[in-house]
């Protein structure tokens, strides 16, 4: 099979063709400008590629309700030019089944299908980078609901040393993204997170917030594994701190061997690296074809 996939990102768009074994056969990347300029290039790429299906993972918010008039749209994004863009409608010209979901949900699906979450029916995949988003896969399917989860905007308790900090989220003073995203670190310390590698106090505070968020995820979703990716998690020291903080916040309440004795296998890095999103998008299209 030739499975088409698109990752619509805030800075770049990636298209690829994969087979059903998770091998990327071809790939094409362009910078994200306006929909008028970007979408036709993506469509042209697929026109002669003979794909069987297409899956799209998009930055959001997006409308995932198939009964809605704006299903398949990017809805209220502040990204200039992209609000109310009919993404799925545009690609209908290709005449193949189309799957559509958020960027983090498709990355989650990629890791579940081929990566660190393979053969596990309940997994959370989080990306901590410019933004924070978590894909939620429970009982063998991606979770949607009213819209889609917005785990990056869960509210957290501020550390007492951080109580005067004003984070970058325009909606919430103390949401996860405002307190722990890459731009949040940069705002707090005046330099990019990658320049702060040796500052353990920075990563302790970062883990203080990520630990709370993961504790909340464990309580709300009961995942069997948590996979954490994104630029900020490139600092490998952070994993140890995050595991400790998560255990501290759970505080013995969940008495499962996986958490109490195997936390290093419970909170893990992704296995697919940069391919998680695109392979998940291809798989999403395959699932749509299989329906
Ligand atoms: P995006 O979220 O835009 O797709 P990334 O996932 O690469 O991009 O995240 C970018 C963020 O990650 C930036 O804020 C950057 O400062 C931060 N970052 C990149 N490398 C590292 C690193 N080694 N350690 C900590 N933070 C990093
Ligand atoms: Zn917020």
Q: How many other β-carbons are positioned within 10 Å of the β-carbon of residue 219?
A: 12
Best residue among 135, 194, 237, 272 to mutate for probing ligand 1, ranked by most atoms within 8 Å of CB: 194
Q: Which pLDDT value is given to residue 42?
A: 97
Q: If you average pLDDT over residues 171-176, what whole number do you get?
A: 96
Decide if 3-101 and 116-268 have a common fold.
yes
Distance CA 135, CA 88 (A): 20
Kindly report the pTM of this predicted structure.
0.95
DSSP label at 149?
A: -
- Closest listed ligand to the CA of 188: 1
Three-state SS for 104? helix
CB 229 less than 6 A from any atom of ligand 1: no
CB 32 less than 6 A from any atom of ligand 1: no
Q: Read off the pLDDT of residues 51-79 as tens digits, 9 standing for 90 and up.
A: 999 999 999 899 999 999 999 999 998 88
The CATH superfamily label for domain 116-268 reads ATPase, nucleotide binding domain (3.30.420.40)
Asked whether the bond before 61 is cis by omega within 30 degrees of 0, the reply is yes
Q: Which pLDDT value is given to residue 60?
A: 85
Q: Read off the pLDDT of residues 121-151 as tens digits, 9 standing for 90 and up.
A: 999 999 999 999 999 999 999 999 888 899 9
- Would you identify the CATH topology of the domain 3-101? Nucleotidyltransferase; domain 5 (3.30.420)
Q: For tokens 């805030």, what's the residue?
A: 10
Q: Which pLDDT value is given to residue 79?
A: 86
CB 133 less than 6 A from any atom of ligand 1: no
Q: Which pLDDT value is given to residue 10?
A: 84
Q: If you average pLDDT over residues 158-174, what whole number do you get?
A: 96
Per-domain residue ranges of the chain: 3-101, 116-268
CB 129 less than 6 A from any atom of ligand 1: yes
């Amino acid at each position: 099979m030739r499975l088409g996939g698109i990752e619509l990102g805030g800075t770049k768009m990636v298209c690829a063709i994969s087979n059903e074994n998770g091998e990327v056969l071809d790939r094409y990347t362009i910078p994200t400008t306006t929909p008028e300029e970007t979408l036709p290039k993506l469509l042209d790429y697929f026109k002669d590629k003979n794909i069987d299906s297409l899956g799209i993972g998009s930055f959001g918010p997006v409308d995932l309700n198939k009964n809605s008039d704006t299903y398949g749209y990017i809805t209220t994004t502040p990204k200039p030019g992209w609000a109310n863009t009919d993404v799925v409608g545009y690609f209908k010209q290709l005449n193949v089944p189309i799957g559509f979901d958020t960027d983090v949900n498709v990355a989650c699906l990629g890791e579940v299908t081929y990566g660190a979450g393979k053969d596990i029916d309940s997994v959370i995949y989080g990306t901590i980078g410019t933004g924070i988003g978590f894909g939620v896969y429970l009982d063998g399917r991606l979770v949607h609901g009213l819209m889609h989860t917005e785990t990056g905007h869960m509210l957290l308790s501020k550390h007492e040393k951080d109580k005067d900090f004003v984070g970058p989220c325009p909606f919430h003073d103390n949401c996860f993204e405002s307190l722990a995203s890459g731009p949040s670190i940069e705002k707090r310390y005046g330099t990019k997170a990658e320049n702060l590698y040796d500052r353990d106090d920075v990563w302790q505070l970062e883990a203080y917030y990520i630990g709370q968020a993961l504790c909340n995820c464990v309580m709300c979703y009961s995942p069997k594994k948590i996979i954490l990716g994104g630029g900020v998690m490139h600092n490998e020291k952070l994993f140890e701190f995050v595991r400790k903080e998560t255990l501290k916040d759970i505080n013995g309440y969940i008495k499962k061997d996986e958490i109490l004795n195997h936390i290093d296998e419970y909170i893990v890095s992704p296995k697919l690296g940069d391919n998680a999103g695109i392979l998940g998008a291809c798989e999403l299209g395959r699932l749509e074809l299989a329906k």
